[in-house]
Amino acid sequence: MEIEIVWNLMKWPLLACLVLPGILVYYGLHIVQREIIFVDLALAQVAALGTCVAVLLGYDVHQWQTFTWGIGFTLVGAVIFTLTRHRHPLVPQEALIGIVYVVAAAAGMLLLSQNPEGDEQLKRTLVGEVLLVRPQDVVMAMGLYAIVGAMHYVFRRKFLLISFEPARAQAEGLRVGWWDLAFYVLFGLVVTTFVQIGGVLLTFSFLIIPAVCASYLAKSLTARLWTAWTVAVVGGASGAGASYQMDLPTGAAIVCALGLLLVAAGGVGAFKTKRQPRATTTRLQPEPHHT
């Protein structure tokens, strides 16, 4: 009986934390390679700002209008990041990404200060409510992520080139700007959806921590992808289990579990480096693929 109760309580949060992060992990490898680590955090915060605007206008956080506001704000962020990818010699893109993040966060605080439940809504945008996720939200996210994943598979050569070999992409005449915009628009859809489920911090953690762990533990793109997926599943399952056993916030517990896995992966990576002192560090290149 107890197992049945636990399953009924945790099945949808577990699905959200074990299945949905798959596309986030894949995007994380792109983001780490592009060396714009905080772009996902900034886009997540921009999406949260759109949610704050919708709440201030009187919409419930689960209404489609709220999701639409989040998407709209995220698309604006996608355009900004696309236009600023080619860096000004004195202003790195990471600085602009950080500015977008702090301005969006401050604007969200100002907006929610006008709402009687602003403090609770602000906490929800940061840490989410994974334990209270609705089945329809998980199913909708699965459908959307399947479409995004299919588009990345069909156009994988172009997306891999603009992230891993941008100079080659330009040399081959690829319209990098347009494909960059497509990358960020699809990325924005994924981020906006998961922010509604898990909050900003969990979204950032699933995007970056598994990808960084994989960088410590594997070399090829395929190996890093499978390693990152494994880290995400283990971190999601252990964090969700710990949150249930110790009555902790689920999102925060998963973030901490992923953090511990990162420490372990970093230790293994350091050990491997000491065992191979003559090895040189190279940037990850995409594996051969066909158009």
Q: Is the whole model's pTM more than 0.85, yes or no?
A: no
Residue-by-residue pLDDT tens, the chain, 291 positions: 566 666 666 777 778 888 888 899 999 888 888 877 777 778 878 888 888 888 788 887 777 788 888 888 888 888 888 777 665 566 777 788 888 888 988 888 888 777 776 666 666 666 667 777 888 888 888 999 999 999 999 998 899 888 888 888 888 888 888 888 888 889 888 888 888 788 778 888 898 999 999 989 988 888 999 999 999 999 988 988 888 888 888 888 899 999 999 999 999 888 877 766 554 444 555 555 554
Question: Closest Cα partner for 14 from 281, 272, 260, 242?
Answer: 242
Q: What is the CATH number of domain 2-275?
A: 1.10.3470.10
How do the domains of the chain map onto residue ranges?
2-275
Rounded to 10 degrees, the C-alpha dihedral 189/193/199/204 comes to -40
